[in-house]
């Protein structure tokens, strides 16, 4: 069981180290747009909670809130979707008071 956990963690870290950033544009209520650079490695503090379950750290919750506009892009990306869509991810998002995104088919 420890070997499987180790392999899973190594795979997740490898996937999250992908050098391809994703860009998201957030439309602010005041009429302005804010560009957010979505970098999956920023969510590294969330790896233990996402892969093994348990409570997320404060740093994880901060990063999730910063990357909130990126979650739909992560869900649509095959490299990240299984982690962002997992039951553990939903628990982590709930614990951090980040709503699970409802992504359109755009």
104 within a domain of the structure (yes/no): no
**Which residue, among 74, 71, 69, has the nearest Cα to 35 in the 3D structure?**
69
With respect to residue 77, please indicate whether it lies within any of the assigned structural domains: yes
Digit-coded pLDDT (tens) for 37-91 = 788 889 999 999 988 988 999 999 999 999 999 999 998 998 888 888 889 999 9
Q: Is residue 76 part of a domain?
A: yes
pLDDT value of position 27: 44
Sign of CA dihedral 78, 19, 55, 66: negative
Structurally, how many domains does the chain consist of? Answer: 1
CA 14 to CA 19: how far, in whole Å? 10
Report if residue 6 sits inside a domain.
yes
Residue 101 lies in a domain: no
Task: Dig out the tokens for 79 from the structure.
Answer: 């490299």
pLDDT band per the 50, 70, 90 thresholds, residue 105? low
CATH number of the domain residue 42 falls in? 1.10.110.10
How many Å apart are CA 38 and CA 71, to the nearest integer?
A: 9
* Residue ranges making up the domain that contains 72: 2-95
């Amino acid at each position: 069981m420890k070997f499987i956990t180790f392999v899973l963690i190594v795979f997740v870290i490898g996937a999250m180290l992908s050098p391809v950033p994703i860009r998201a544009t957030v439309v602010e209520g005041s009429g302005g747009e804010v560009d957010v650079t979505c970098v999956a490695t920023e969510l590294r503090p969330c790896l233990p909670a996402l892969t093994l379950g348990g409570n997320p750290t404060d740093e994880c919750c901060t990063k999730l809130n910063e990357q909130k506009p990126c979650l739909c892009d992560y869900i649509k990306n095959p490299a990240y979707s299984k982690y962002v869509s997992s039951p553990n991810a939903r628990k982590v998002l709930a614990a951090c008071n980040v709503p699970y995104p409802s992504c359109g088919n755009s």
